[in-house]
Structure 1
Amino acid sequence: MAQLELESPVSSTTVQSLLHGRMYTLALADNIFHDSFTRKYTTYKIQKESPESFYPFVFNDIMGLDPDKGVQVEDVKLALKGHVKDGYRFKPESALSEEDQFYNKYPTANDKVHVLVCVVDVSRIHQMNKITVEKIWNIRQEASHLGIPQVAILTRIDEACPKIKQDLKNVYRSKSLKEKMEQFSADVGIPMNCIFPVKNYHEEIDLNNDVDSLLLSTLKHIINFGEDCINFKKSQSEC
């Protein structure tokens, strides 16, 4: 089962809405909370039609990377290695210790992360400060060392450009969005072909084909990256 490490619960909710064919609200989200809303390390399984059947991947939701009150970089590194148990409450002032009951001393392959996904509100890219950028670089270095692919999801693209808000099909025709993607790529080092612009379901009450199309494409690429990671590590262990 592939682990997809997310910064925001909104995207896991959006994907669940997409795969269920209806609006879904399992992952909590907050439209007015200014600090990171997520406090616990939470794993989301996506149920299929059968109550006991799930899709072969999970989302692990973490606290945001706020420079002062955000998640400790060391906690993210531990999560990548599978050392963080579900339900661990993040502490901005200190990282998880080996003596903590939520420290997983013997992680299995299913506990480890196979794709690191950085979820960013596109309207806040220009507000990213040096500390946040350094956190992302630090986490990416650890992920690269572990052989974990890294991608970014840029959300709220409809608010980044009037043309996109008018018609979501203009997403790859928008010069302003491309400039923001290029800026983010240059800041954190994630290649342009690993950055996916999407629109979340945050005000709609029904699903939309254009929104779904972008989400399905993004999810497909992420799952492919995860499978490549798992297959590569299997081949390495057999050598």
Structure 2
Amino acid sequence: MRLFTAVHKDTELQYMRDYKPHREDVQHLRVLVHGPVGAGKSSFINSVNSVLRGKITGRPLAEANASESFTKKYKTYKIQKGQPGNFYHFVFNDTMGVEMEEDGGVHPEDIILAMKGHMRDGYRFKPGSKLSEDNQFYNAEPTLNDKVQVLVCVVPADKIPLLTDGCVKKIKDIREMASELEIPQLAIITKIDLACPQIQKDLKNVYLSKKLKETMEQFSQLVGIPMSYIFPVKNYDEEINIKDDVDSLILSALRQIIDFGEEFINDMET
């Protein structure tokens, strides 16, 4: 697998612009992002936004502190396409990070409720506790547009060897429930340049790095996500201009997210 050529990049960007769920009763494909604190979840959403808009953007804000989740509220992020008011037909929902401690970070049940469409925008996450049915942000009758079609686990390459048993268990619990709901899942490995000097020197070495491959294999074995469903990316963290090599990895992951989600939407019951 190689990084995209300029022509391929343009083709993928056009695919994203043209994409629309084939089912008329589904307005958009909903992607739920979760993972450890400081993994780069918000940065990934922001990076997708930057790639599709062709410029570095600052929304949503990235995690400010790797030891504490920046995301406090459940929110749907739309990406503008062309003129204001026109959006891509896929949306992202960010979540509070999964902390290493057993009772810290987002409650796994909150992720499950979000997947089922029971969580409304504006819900404030509470470490160690879940959304209750009597809460004003509990959606008792979710529609197809409220439900999640793809679950994306974001993990930092340099921290995978340090994941605690408790953190791995939370990720696996969330994964098992998604499997019961038949929601497709994939993983995004961020901060690949921090995990491998070869990649830090040149991003084009991403598919030549034995160290990165071993790191991805380790994560695959820990949580059970197949290697073919794990995608390495470099988020836009410090750059002031977009770069083709960075865009290539992000677009590759996004294409799979959309393809997985579209297949799921087509199989959804009304």
Quick check: TM above 0.5? yes
Find the partner of 2:190 among 155, 158, 162.
155
Q: Answer whether contact 2:63 2:71 (CA < 8 A) is retained.
A: no
Secondary structure of the equivalent of 1:187? helix
Alpha-carbon distance between aligned partners in 2 of 1:162 and 1:25, rounded to the nearest angstrom: 27
Q: Residues of 2 paired with 1:176 and 1:106: CA distance?
A: 46
Matched residue, 1:71:
106
Q: Distance in 2 between matches of 1:92 and 1:161?
A: 33
Q: Quote the Cα distance in structure 2 between the aligned partners of 1:132 and 1:141.
A: 14
Distance, in Å, in 1 between the alignment partners of 2:75 and 2:42 is: 9
TM-fit CA distance, 1:33: 4.6
Q: Tell me which residue corresponds to 1:45.
A: 78
Residues 184-203 of structure 1 mapped to structure 2, 5 A cutoff? 184-203=219-238
Which residue, out of 211, 219, 222, partners 1:176? 211
2:57 to 12, 19, 24: 24
Moved more, 33-42 or 113-122: 33-42
Answer whether contact 2:199 2:209 (CA < 8 A) is retained: yes
Paired with 2:217 and 2:201, the residues of 1 have a C-alpha distance of 23
Q: CA RMSD in A?
A: 1.0
1:135 Cα offset (Å):
0.6
Q: CA deviation at 1:93?
A: 2.9
Q: Give the match for residue 119 of structure 2.
A: 84
Confirm whether residue 118 of structure 1 aligns to residue 153 of structure 2: yes
Q: Which residues of structure 1 form unaligned runs of 5+?
A: none
Which runs of at least 4 in structure 1 moved beyond 6 Å after TM superposition? Answer: none
TM-score normalised to structure 1 length: 0.96
Partner of 1:36: 69
Q: Go from structure 1 to structure 2 and tell me whether the alpha carbon gap of 1:33 and 1:141 turns closer, same or farther (over 3 Å shift).
A: closer
Q: Which moved more, 1:190-199 or 1:62-71?
A: 62-71
Write the mapping of 1:137-148 to structure 2, written as runs, cut at 5 A.
137-148=172-183
Distance in 2 separating the partners of 1:175 and 1:15? 26
Write out per-residue CA displacement over residues 174-213 of structure 1, whole angstroms, 9 at most, x where no aligned residue.
0000000000000000000000000001011000000001
Distance in 2 (CA, whole Å) between partners of 1:93 and 1:62 is 14
State the alpha-carbon separation in 2 of the partners of residues 16 and 91 from structure 1: 27
Q: Aligned residues, how many? A: 235
**Alpha-carbon deviation of 1:32?**
3.3
Asked if 1 retains the 8 angstrom alpha-carbon contact of 2:193 and 2:234, the reply is yes
1:52 Cα shift? Answer: 1.5
Q: Shift in Å at residue 147 of structure 1?
A: 1.0
Separation (CA, whole Å) in 2 of partners of 1:230 and 1:208: 32
CA separation of 1:53 and 1:11: change in aligned 2, threshold 3 A: same
Provide Cα deviations, 1:153-176, integer angstroms capped at 9, x if missing partner.
000111111111111111011000
